[in-house]
Structure 1
Amino acid sequence: MKNKKFAAILIIVFTILLIIVYGSYIAYQRTKYAITDAVFVESNGIAYLSFKRVSGKIVKILKDEGDKVKKGDVLAELDDKDYRIELKSIQDKILSLVEKKKSLEIKKEELEKETDININVAELSLKNLEWEIKALKNKIKSLDVEINLLKKDEARFKRLLNKNLIPKRKYEDIKTKLEVERLNRKFYKEKIKALEVKRDILKENINLALSKKLLVKQLNKEIKSLVANINVLKAKKEDIDLKLKYTKLKSPVDGVIAKRFKSVGDVVSSGMPVFAVIPDNSIYILVLLEEGKLKGVKKGNKAYIKIDAYPDKEYIGVVEEINPATASKFALVPRDITAGEFTKVEQRIPVKIKIIKGDISMLKVGMGGEVKIERK
């Protein structure tokens, strides 16, 4: 009987000791660590991906929820047939205008050469003609002087002949010479007239060549207009090329597909979300720590995290940020205590923890767990 009592007392004592030890351990843990289960897996930013500047039917979905993606990976594609038809049309127009521009440039170059040559030749010929006309006019002036002298000699010789003071042959010589000089003068006059006609023709040719210069200016205007149109079409082509590029939706970051909003065959417009991607290294632990447990919690303190989904795995992190305001201050409907009604509610302080050890790829945004934050 005594042995049974003794065994019972030992069990009671052991149980009390166990409770005291466990209580002491819990008290030690509560003293050394700030412990809470208001723990959530969060991300610094979820990238909502959509097609830029293009709309249409989705013809390919290349990634699904949970898939890992690299920056630049194609996630989905739109039907680009209409854009390719438009691009082909613009390319054909550009080619046509470029050919027309080349043709006009060749025509302009040939016209410029021909015009310059014609003007130079005509101006040189005109200069020579003017000199020749001037020389002939000078000759006529000399002839006029000579004819006047011969006319006087002819009259004098005629008087002498009538008086039989000179032989008839001498008078005939003077008379013949006078006729010859008159004929020469007439010849030079006719030649001057012919040269003046030729001069007028050369002047007309120069004016014609100068009018062709105006045609060159007109061709220059047409070429400039074509260049402007070509540049406009090239800008359109670049825009279509860019739109074709945008028909392939690419991941801007390394990460994981968190959500797929659309499927093959869906019609989407520009800016409509198709995927949500959580970037790598953006996962952190958000702790809503009770204000009474904040003592000793500082930036840089170690934290030990258990996630409910993986109870056998432990993550280690450090306190990266302690929010200067309580979580309730950012609620959709913040508490209003100005009316005098007040019920004391323990406030929670958002604490951000950066994970430094553990397989982050297993974590999903929104998961819950428990954390122990060292106090210092």
Structure 2
Amino acid sequence: MNGKGKKIGLIIVVVLILVFLIYAVRWINHRMKYAISDAVFVESEYLSNIGFYRVSGKIIQLYKKESDQVKAGEVIAKIDDTDYKLQVQALEKEIESLTYQKKQLENQLERVAKETDINESITALTVQELNKKLESLKAQKDQIEAQLKLAQKDEERYRNLLEKGLVSKRKYEEVKTNLEVLEKQKLAVEKNIAELKISIEKSKKAVEYAQTQKSITQEIQDQINSANSQIESLIKKKQDLENQLKYTELTAPFNGVVAKKFVSIGDVVKAGQPVYAILKSDSFYVKVLLEETKLEGVKVGNKAYIKLDAYPDKTFEGVVESIDVASAAKFALVPRDISAGEFTKLAQRIPVKIKIIKGDMSLLRVGLGGKVEIEKIR
């Protein structure tokens, strides 16, 4: 029995040694195939602090809390928009009033323009007609003056003949009467010409007045142009206020999850002040600080398997997306001073970025730690 017990004990020792050797071989083989590190952190490429654009005021609604999912364009917060609505209403009334004034001015311009054109046309025609009459009277005067010269000669000749007794007094009287008639006709024509000239001058004044009325129409047109400019300016101001009114609702810029809520209902916030911090849903990645001794065989595109401490039963798959060209220590806030030539040699860590391609993304949180195994390429 004693010899048999020794034999069994030997067998057990051999089996244990074989198990240990198998485990050791597998462990070594696994370490040769994979670069393993527990310096693992979940990070995000898109962590945005978002706030109200161009507007400020008291928060009256917060629709999301921390860890809530958000969709792009979804309203997640709102500030009191009463003041902005009142400003828009005031501008609408001002635009309406100016538009009414502009319409009145346009009606006035149309009426004055028509009256001015009609008056100018009438007075211009009147001046033309009077000038024609004046020319006719001048011709008539010239004709009378020619006849008058002949009548004056006849009167002088017949008066000499009467004195000599060669003609009768009755004949002389006829000649003299004809002269007097022509003189009266001349005076009448001259009077008509003088009156006509006065009428022409009045008509010319009327033409000038009609032309001055055109300056009034220009003044009205200037008022209309000014009203148009004011209306356009107010419309732009109203459009800007309407945009600000839209900005009183804060919307999510992308699909994601609320990482932090900075304010509470009732708080007064300024434009641009952070209200939420939002992580983009598809922006999570794993950052690994891989020892330089494990870097051999790790290439971009290699597969990686991640286990997070928070979810030990879950495995996430990924691929190496980038390998930094400098160690993490190079960018430390207090880098090592090696100028004295004395330092303790430490294994440097190279940041490796792993893109997650498989796993429950909703479980991921920035800052979670874990363990990674990266396939090596020999």
Write out aligned runs for 1:268-279 (5 A): 268-279=269-280
**Cross-structure match for 1:52:** 53
1:322 partner amino acid:
I
Q: Which AA in structure 2 matches 1:32?
A: K
> 1:258 aligns to what?
259
In structure 2, runs of 5+ residues without a counterpart are none
**Letter of the 1:201 counterpart:** K
Q: CA deviation at 1:80?
A: 0.6
SS in 2 for 1:328: helix
Structure 1 pair 206/339, CA: closer, same or farther in 2 (3 Å)?
farther
1:125 aligns with 2:126: yes
1:145 corresponding residue in structure 2: 146
Structure 1 residues 81-133: Cα deviation after superposition (integer angstroms, max 9, x where no partner): 11111111112112111221222222122222221221122122112212211
SS of 1:325's equivalent in the other structure is: coil
- The alpha carbon displacement at 1:33 in A equals 0.2
Once the two structures are superposed, residues 335-373 of structure 1 have per-residue CA deviations (whole angstroms, 9 ceiling, x without a partner) of: 232243422121111101111111212211111111110
Once the two structures are TM-superposed, the CA of residue 167 in structure 1 deviates from its matched residue by 4.2
Distance 2:28 2:21 in 1: 10
Q: Which residue is equivalent to 1:218? A: 219
Deviations 1:303-357 (A, max 9, x none): 1111112212211111110000111122222223224342212111110111111
Moved more, 21-30 or 89-98: 89-98
Find the residue that maps to 2:366 and give its secondary structure. coil
* Counterpart residue number, 1:296: 297
Deviation at 1:162, TM superposition (A): 4.1
Quick one: distance in 2 between partners of 1:245 and 1:338? 59
Worse-matched range after superposition: 219-228 or 89-98: 219-228
Deviations 1:236-266 (A, max 9, x none): 2122111111111011111111111112111
Which aligned pairs between 1:223-372 and structure 2 lie closer than 5 A? 223-372=224-373
Q: Secondary structure at the match of 1:273?
A: coil
Find the aligned partners of 1:171 and 1:6 in 2 and give their Cα distance.
195
How far the C-alpha of 1:165 sits from its partner, in A, is 3.3
SS at match of 1:34: strand
For residues 38 and 310 of structure 2, what CA distance do their matches in structure 1 show?
A: 13
Mean Cα displacement is larger for which, 147-156 or 283-292? 147-156
Query: 2:70 corresponds to which residue?
Result: 69
Output the CA distance in 2 between the equivalents of 1:339 and 1:125.
114
How many angstroms apart in 2 are the aligned matches of 1:225 and 1:273?
43
Any unmatched runs of 5+ in structure 1?
none
Q: Deviations over 1:209-261 (max 9, x none)?
A: 12212222222222222222222222221221111111110111111111111
Counterparts of 2:106 and 2:332 in 1: how far apart (Å)?
71
**2:203 is the counterpart of 1:196:** no
2:290 maps to amino acid: L
Distance 1:266 1:300 in 2: 48
| Cα displacement string for residues 171-197 of structure 1 (whole angstroms, at most 9, x for unaligned residues) | 333233222222221221121122122
Report the residue type matching 1:5 in the other structure.
K
In structure 1, C-alpha distance between the alignment counterparts of 2:213 and 2:322, rounded to whole Å:
81
The alignment status of 1:39 with 2:35, answered yes or no, reads: no
- Show the counterpart of 2:101: 100
Q: Which amino acid aligns with 1:217?
A: Q
The alignment partner of 2:285 has SS state of strand
Partner of 1:86: 87
Q: CA RMSD in A?
A: 1.6
C-alpha separation between the residues in 1 aligned to 2:334 and 2:104? 74
Q: Deviations over 1:27-59 (max 9, x none)?
A: 011100000111111111201111111111001
Tell me the TM-score normalized by structure 2. Answer: 0.95
Task: Tell me the matched-pair count.
Answer: 376
- In the other structure, the counterpart of 1:156 is 157
Give the distance between the partners of 1:202 and 1:333, measured in 2 at CA.
100
* SS at structure 1 position matched to 2:282: coil
**Matched residues in 2 for 1:121 and 1:155: separation?**
50
| Helix, strand or coil at the partner of 1:354 | strand
